[in-house]
Structure 1
Amino acid sequence: MPPTVPRAEELTAAPAWRTVDFLSDLHLDPGHEATVQALAGYLAHTPADAIFLLGDLFEVWVGDDALAEPGSFESRCCALLAQAARQHALYFLHGNRDFLIGEGFARASGVALLPDPTVLAFAGQRWLLSHGDALCLDDVEYQRFRALARSPAWQHAFLAAPLAQRRAQARSMRAQSEAHKHASSWYADVDHPAALAWLQAASAQALIHGHTHRPATHVLAPGQLRHVLSDWDLDATPPRAEVLRLTAKGLERLPLAPR
């Protein structure tokens, strides 16, 4: 039986919006300062009226209470976003790394939380926005974990543990994930029939998502496209950072990493 197609919430662009930016998979953490600085530079100079962060903004998010730690990396990043939120409308969809982001983060950062998926009505078209992980159906093991980790019972139990214990558990999970990536040459991609079903159910012309770290544009059907965002890693060789910009003229990919 095919998976259930989720109902997409809808967001209508403000009449004053002329430029909208999409980015995802920055995987911010204290060990990648160059990526944090790249985000700061982008936020300070982008002309975008609205910015959509489509998941995995952070490498890991162990709970909003991390913001209460004096000088925490999380609070520093939220201050950066809060400054940008005074000039731009900021939106966030949960990723597979930061699905525990909650209202505490939203209050501290000025970022509005959106459900996954969400339809953005802009420039006379409907754009379906998602992180993309729910569409990687061939990764059965991950989909099982995703269903478990999104359950209120699992989240309540995890967040009830002391913050230090959660941080240690997150480090262990990241190490296991990295070991799996190095041991396997196969990574699940988005399932095209499922993506097309999502688009058709939402009456949208294009799907914009991240997660797979495979920036490209795919034709799913005549007039229906799938746009994949780039991840960011300014310490990689070559460094990676890209924004997908939408205006009334259409979409444009803007590389931000030095060449």
Structure 2
Amino acid sequence: MLKSRADTLPCLDVLPGEWIAPPQWRAIDLISDLHLAETTPGTRAALAHYLSHTPADAIFLLGDIFEVWIGDDARHQAFESGLLAMFAQAAARIPLFFIAGNRDFLLGDAMAHEAGLTRLSDPCALQAFGQRYLLSHGDAWCLEDRDYQAFRALVRSAAWQQAFLDKPLKERRNIARGLRERSMAQKAGQAHRPELWADLDAGTVRDALRAQACTTLIHGHTHRPACHALGDDLSREVLSDWDLEAHSPRAEVLRLGPQGLLRLSLPSATA
């Protein structure tokens, strides 16, 4: 376990960009964009129930599992420590794999180790059931959103992360709150203008799939679950976000098995 200030540093032991599923596995679940926060108790409860009851042999968490992660020292706080315990309990029963999203890219060794999360690179190829799938959070390929890509490059730099993690926890929370408020205001302004919604660049996705000898990309980030044909037998599957507090609750799991991909809505999301 890392100590002192380095206790908060992320991404020191991420596994290489390929994972081969054991031959005895019969089902793999993929989820993303849960945005767990103190203000989403319904989503947290749905996740706890799902983790305890899924028949899958492994779960791949493709980013933005937390509404915000401001450093591993936050895991000692009441809310975050509860999430850590929930994941650790699940990881004792079933393997949990994690790809960082744009909200939780600062999740580091200490939290991953204690929560039982095996971190994967983004993207990561998954070989399972005779097929190869490419897994990603997806935000890096929303190339038309140039403002976001510039911001992403800034916050993913080692210098920015070190400067941010050097700040007191309370100050980091205030900074994160301000960034979320700006993001929510921007989304509200675009809510009725689909032409402004950022999406993954199709050409970049095709190139990535071919480079990794994969036929299907599975990703989150956009909150618009669908299957998109890309031509040449290539496709991308978009995961659902989870929001059990919404007027129309939603929580969806993409299950991969020998017969392919199946979308499952949690019962609490369809009640």
TM-score by length of structure 1 reads 0.95
The amino acid of 1:51's aligned partner reads I
2:270 is matched with which residue?
258
The amino acid of 2:67's aligned partner reads E
Q: State the alpha-carbon separation in 1 of the partners of residues 38 and 76 from structure 2.
A: 17
Q: State the alpha-carbon separation in 1 of the partners of residues 31 and 70 from structure 2.
A: 22
Q: State the alpha-carbon separation in 1 of the partners of residues 245 and 212 from structure 2.
A: 38
Structure 2 residues not aligned, in runs of 5+: 1-15
- Map 1:45-194 → 2, pairs under 5 A: 45-69=53-77, 72-184=78-190, 185=193, 186-194=196-204
Q: State the alpha-carbon separation in 2 of the partners of residues 75 and 143 from structure 1.
A: 31
How much has 1:101 moved relative to structure 2?
0.4
Q: State the alpha-carbon separation in 2 of the partners of residues 182 and 29 from structure 1.
A: 20
Structure 1 residues not aligned, in runs of 5+: 1-7
2:208 is matched with which residue?
198
Q: 1:239 aligns with which of 221, 241, 249?
A: 249
The amino acid of 2:181's aligned partner reads A
How much has 1:146 moved relative to structure 2?
0.6
How much has 1:86 moved relative to structure 2?
1.0
Give the 3-state SS of the residue equivalent to 2:104 in structure 1: coil
Q: State the alpha-carbon separation in 2 of the partners of residues 177 and 196 from structure 1.
A: 29
Q: Which moved more, 1:180-189 or 1:18-27?
A: 180-189
Q: State the alpha-carbon separation in 2 of the partners of residues 188 and 200 from structure 1.
A: 23
Give the 3-state SS of the residue equivalent to 1:105 in structure 2: helix
How much has 1:222 moved relative to structure 2?
2.6
Q: 1:21 aligns with which of 13, 29, 39?
A: 29
Give the 3-state SS of the residue equivalent to 2:64 in structure 1: coil
How much has 1:74 moved relative to structure 2?
1.2
How much has 1:41 moved relative to structure 2?
0.6
Over the matched positions of the two proteins, sequence identity in percent amounts to 55
Give the 3-state SS of the residue equivalent to 2:74 in structure 1: helix
Give the 3-state SS of the residue equivalent to 1:116 in structure 2: coil
TM-score by length of structure 2 reads 0.91
Deviations 1:25-62 (A, max 9, x none): 00000001000000001001000101000000000000
Give the 3-state SS of the residue equivalent to 1:31 in structure 2: coil
